[in-house]
Amino acid sequence: MNTSGAGGVSTEPNFQPGSPHSVPRPGEATVDPAALENGGRRFPEGFLFGAGTAAYQIEGATTADGRTPSIWDTFSERPGAVKDGHTGHIAVDHYHRYREDVALMRGLGLNAYRFSVSWSRVQPAGSGPANPAGLDFYRRLVDELLTAGIEPWLTLYHWDLPQPLEDAGGWPARDTAQRFADYAEIVHNALGDRVKHITTLNEPWCSAFLGYASGVHAPGRREPAAAIRAVHHLLLAHGLAVDAMRAQGRDTQLGITLNLYAVSPATESPEDAEAARRIDGLSNRLFLDPVLRGQYPEDVVADLAPVTDFSHVRDGDLAIISRPLSMLGINYYSRYVVSAPPPGPHGRIDWRGPEPRGASVGSEAVRFVYRGVPVTAMEWEIDAPGLTEVLKRVATEYPSVPLYVTENGAAFHDEVGPDGTINDIERCAYLDAHLRACQDAIAAGVPLRGYFAWSLLDNFEWAWGYTRRFGLFYVDYRDQRRIPKASARWYSSVIAQRALPAEPLVLDGATPAPGSAPPEPRPAS
């Protein structure tokens, strides 16, 4: 793949993002102003519309200005680890093109932009002094956003641990949590005067279970007990970072982002209900309970007894992990439908299976089932009502905290048409359905304050490399040109009107055969 060469923002004459008077091309999805005046669904005043990215997925410039390798730099160089041998070394060159990308955001009319900081760009050794050049990049980005009237939402960690810290043990090592708190203090000290919303971690489930159990993400280890230690130390890192940033005396809104799933049994059998309980515990409650209740769920601890005795949890840790939050970010992509493995010769179910491996530590033999409903290019089932279900559950079962959908989006097989446009009508329908799910949650009393589409740009999609596209803007990786998709125009119009049309968009994606099952739980983006 050639990702070198000059490029820039598409200047197609009839893309006027952010304007309610933009003229869509024939066949593109858009918001009909007349429909808005006749029963359109409006969002509450102050509801935040944003889009998100992550450092390793977009920045490139992995050796520039003192940046050193992260675990994703190392992992992507491993033969067979990433599809087609792709790496994030150039990505979409946001490090050099951030001004162009902020102009795209301004054109869309975004209220906020969620981005992550590269730890190894700021602290090349993972500890010790800050790298001034690395911090300066984020200062410039934040200043550009504020000048454009866009609120910066900063994520401290989106999976790119500095390689020296992995060499010292990684997230299974307790010391990594303290190193993260030191890093958080550095970033908050440099940017906290202008950045008012910071989340500590993005999707610790993925960092722990995909990185240390299934090995499909960096650092690529397959050590179930280490994965459970990683869960705890990631959450401890979150709490320590909250303490470190609050100690600086600023009014920053602090939170964490969790990837959550609606989980359903495939049948009404008690065995499938038990499978759903186990996966819900591992995917959702193992993170929600310590963060919001200050305790690990007893049933999940029991499920994990064959793997760990939780002796790595020290007195006082859960009090740190459960520090009060200003907000909770929820990333939602799909529902899990699960079934129990068949019983053994004595009628007992072995939940781990004969050769336990995979992300579902302690319940590796649980089967993930397709229902024959439309899926995205990632083969994730499209289930917008599941988002409402997740939001209502968090709002009703846990202490009240303002909620934000910090990621939601879909990959489809986008292609540039003969006229140079990308008519991703399926993505428009996906966003439409999930924004309606947000409105349903708000109507039910959920304190939902905002929504961030994933993602602003096509980018490096982790183990899928550049073969999957989530962006509102298409990136031609040969010359880095950004081209607005129909979904960019659609989303821009929704933001401008602060409402959805009265009638939903309904389109089908690809449909797998019912009952066929993916080999692993489906990771978030």
166, 203, 426, 461: which is the annotated catalytic residue?
203
CB 160 within 8 A of CB 118: yes
Q: 510: which strand partners? A: 375
> In the Cβ-directed half-sphere of 442, how many Cα atoms lie within 13 Å?
19
Number of neighbouring beta carbons within 10 Å of residue 513: 7
Q: In terms of residues, how long is the chain?
A: 525
| Nearest residue to 264 via CA among 386, 415, 438 | 386
CB 477 within 8 A of CB 1: yes
28, 59, 166, 407: which is the annotated catalytic residue?
407
Supply 278's token pair: 């186990």
- The secondary element (H helix, E strand) that includes residue 173 is none
Question: Is 203 in the active site?
Answer: yes
Which SS3 state, helix, strand or coil, does residue 426 take? helix
Supply 425's token pair: 């009508």
Q: Which residues contact 27 (CB under 8 A, 6 or more apart)?
A: 423, 425
Q: 49: which strand partners? A: 451
CA distance 329 to 407: 8
Question: Is 407 in the active site?
Answer: yes
Burial of 347 (0-12, 13-18, 19+ CB in 10 A): exposed
Which SS3 state, helix, strand or coil, does residue 276 take? helix
| Rg from Cα positions in the chain | 22
Amino acid code (one letter) for 316? G
| Nearest residue to 454 via CA among 54, 18, 94, 126 | 54
Helices 94-108 and 132-147, axial angle in degrees (round to 10): 20
| Residue 390, CA distances (Å) to 254, 262, 285, 329, 338 in order | 21, 6, 12, 12, 17
| Residue 279, CA distances (Å) to 227, 284, 290, 395, 494 in order | 16, 8, 17, 20, 35
CA distance 222 to 28: 45
The single-letter DSSP state of residue 64 is G
Give the catalytic positions in this structure: 203, 407
